[in-house]
A and B are shown apart, each in its own frame.
Chain A
């Protein structure tokens, strides 16, 4: 049966209607045919009976008075009835009295005539035998034979049936085609939307309600399903997007990490190189100083060379520590009113030997009047020094470097300009990145850690200013512009500024450090100020010496065997006579956390190794050492 049924819904609806119509019509026509066959038979019988009655009655006189001719004439009138095949009149005794039509009639026994009274169907004919009664007396019998065309009738019925069937099916097809939309349209619209949803994945589509109760239930259910699926798909897509962006972020972070890692590797290599560089001249210097044949002039020269190298290393490490502090937001500025020219001059002073070495000409252009500013003078000097050092380093020997300070109501500008190697304009911001160097090649003339500019910029920014680099291009010089606000916003004052105790020299000094060399060198240095110094090499020893010596100031190492610096400080603070002793923590650790712990333990100051002479002088109340 499958191939016969149409595939489409419309086709099936039409087919169902047509089949139903076909069967209904067939049954109706069959019923009608049966009814008509009966009606036809009844009508024919009634008609025949009437004819027989009339003919019989008409022929009563003829039969009565034996007038054959009259009878013949009477029944011959039946020729106007084509369906009447033949008529016969019999006398009561069975003798044929008169006849008409194609049939030939013979004598019939009167008993047969009596018995066969009534109608019977004889093939294509209907035969009526009826007695003729006049005044309760039988005067004869009439026999009628008429066409009984039930087959033709059936045939014409069949033709009508076919015609009606075709017409009805045609009309049904037409009407159904028009009306079936009422049933199929909602289903088709759902189907259409479903197909669209599948094809386009658009879950915002909705099916309209149709007004049919069952279909509306289906439509509502379908729409609800769409909403649900749409929401879930949307949620899935959102979570996918989220994951994708997360992935992208992670990938970027990973790349950044990898880049940073690479920079760090580069930096470590450079750092090792830079730290190692001064060691060779230092070792050479030590070897020269050991020579018995050395002259005093030679010694002085070597010592100054060694000092330079050491200072270079100290500078390097200081920069590193500063960068570390900035990176962890632990750098604290000691803001104070000052003259910017001092910072500039200090930087020039610091860098003068290096610039001389590089045979550059330095032009310094500062206003003749003070340039007041609230800032950390040491840090500003560091900034300018870094910029000058950078300029001197990345310019071929014998060129010019210009430092210009200008003050306007809007702010203060400090420009360091050179005609050195310069950089591509695209590198203008990159060169400020940590560990970044314009020239990454191995053959580069000047090495460096790549922290100087980063540090400078961060320091300027901490002052509320900006530091920008400009260059016309490679080999065309560069220009670094520091812009500082005329009056900085109030910046919190530094908490622990090292302050001396007036001008009075602290004469009793205790040094506790398990690094014998450092302790020794420090004690030698302090003795130059004229103070009396005791040295202990561990915490317990230090405690014992302190009880006995009662120092006015104590330099305590933090990491020591037996008793660490913090605990020693607490014990010392409890000793009688040491309440006013100045406790100075000296360690390799300069982080804020270290300072905080030191303060908690009772330290007055916190110095980071190596200790500068200036700091010592300040703490001891002695004169500042010459730069």
Chain B
């Protein structure tokens, strides 16, 4: 367990290189996992108090795999975390976070309505991500993974983001662009 932790942290610590796509993926997976701690969902999002967090990954199986490894036996905010690979057109029901890979960026805008209904936090990794409707958009700055936040979008999704999270965001967008 400790060895794994060290490994995970090592991965995060070394997240400063574009030349290593696997590292980038693992850092992004870690970010996805950690967003759970800095966001809160409506009570209705959980069937019962012990219900699992479910993170859906669309268009990036590598990250899903990475996230699956990371979240196994590692609950966030007291809830076990499940990872689900989502295909285009699949229902978003039961999801709490949906990561939309770069490959599926174009499909992002079509997901927003469903996400708003299901209170699913949409996270993207495209420069146009926020514009396309995601609440958090992961970017690489100076070889480091950073993220931008759209409070407006998050509000629409019904997810409240912690101010502490906003404190470390690269930029926080409060109104519609």
**Interface residues of B, dominant DSSP:** helix
Question: Which residues of the other chain, B, contact A228 by a CB distance below 8 angstroms?
Answer: none
A385 at the interface (CB under 8 A from B): no
A-side interface size class:
10 to 19
Q: Are B9 and A65 in contact (CB under 8 A)?
A: no
A93 contacts B10, C-beta separation under 8 Å: yes
Q: Which residues of B lie under 8 Å from residue A92 when comparing CB positions?
A: 5-6, 9
The size bracket of the interface on B is 20 to 34
Cβ of A413 under 8 Å from chain B: no
A134 and B144 contacting across the interface, CB-CB below 8 Å = no
Q: Name B34's contact: one of A62, A65, A93 (CB within 8 Å).
A: A65
- By a CB distance below 8 angstroms, the chain B residues around A66 are 12-13, 15, 27, 144-145
Chain B residue contacts of A62, Cβ below 8 A: 167-168
Q: A62-B168, A65-B31, A66-B15 known; A91 and B37 CB under 8 Å?
A: no
Which residue of chain B has the shortest Cβ distance to A65 in the bound complex? B168
Q: Is the CB of A61 within 8 A of B6?
A: no
B46 near A: Cβ within 8 Å?
Answer: no
Which residue of B9, B31, B162 is within 8 Å of A93 (Cβ)? Answer: B9
* Bound Cα distance A70, B12 (Å): 17
Distance in angstroms between the alpha carbons of A134 and B31 in the assembled complex: 15
Q: From residue B51, how far is it (CB to closest CB) to chain A in Å?
A: 18
Contact status A61-B165, CB under 8 Å: yes
Residue of A whose beta carbon sits closest to that of B144: A66
Interface residues of A in 36-95 (CB under 8 A from B): 60-62, 64-67, 70, 91-93, 95
Known: A93-B6, A93-B10. A70 touches B77 (CB 8 A): no
B147 within 8 A of A: yes
B36 to A: closest C-beta gap in Å? 9
Chain B 136-177 against A: per-residue CB contact (8 Å), 1 yes, 0 no?
Answer: 000000001111000000000000001011011000000000
A67 with B168: in contact, given A93-B9, A93-B10, A135-B77 (CB under 8 Å)?
yes
Q: B70-92: which residues lie under 8 A (CB-CB) from chain A?
A: 76-77
Distance in angstroms between the alpha carbons of A60 and B162 in the assembled complex: 12
Instruction: Give chain A residues whose Cβ lies under 8 Å from the Cβ of B9.
Output: 91-93
B38 touches A61 (CB 8 A): yes
> What residues of B have a CB within 8 angstroms of the CB of A134 in the complex?
37
- Chain B residue at minimum C-beta to C-beta distance from A140: B9
> How many angstroms between the C-alpha atoms of A61 and B37 in the bound complex?
10
Which residues of chain A come closer than 8 Å to B10, judged between CB atoms? 93
**Which of A66, A70, A134 has the most CB atoms of chain B within a 10 A radius of its CB?**
A66
Instruction: For A92, give the chain B residue with the smallest CB separation.
Output: B9
Q: A66-B12, A91-B13, A93-B6 are known contacts. Are A61 and B164 too (CB-CB below 8 A)? A: yes
Of all chain A residues, which has the CB nearest B34?
A64
Question: Which B-chain residue is minimally distant from A91 (CB atoms)?
Answer: B13
The residue in chain A whose Cβ has the minimal distance to the Cβ of B166 is A61
CA distance A60 to B37 in the complex (A): 11
CB-based contact B13/A61 at 8 Å: no
Of the residues A60, A91, A135, contact of B164 by C-beta under 8 Å: A60
In the complex, 9 of the A-B residue pairs with CB atoms within 8 angstroms, ordered by the A residue number, are: A61-B38, A61-B162, A61-B164, A61-B165, A61-B168, A62-B168, A64-B168, A66-B15, A91-B13
Residues of chain A whose beta carbon lies under 8 Å from any beta carbon of chain B? 60-62, 64-67, 70, 91-93, 95, 134-135
Add 9 more A-B contacts to A91-B9, A91-B13 (CB < 8 A).
A61-B162, A62-B167, A64-B34, A65-B34, A65-B146, A66-B144, A93-B6, A135-B37, A135-B76
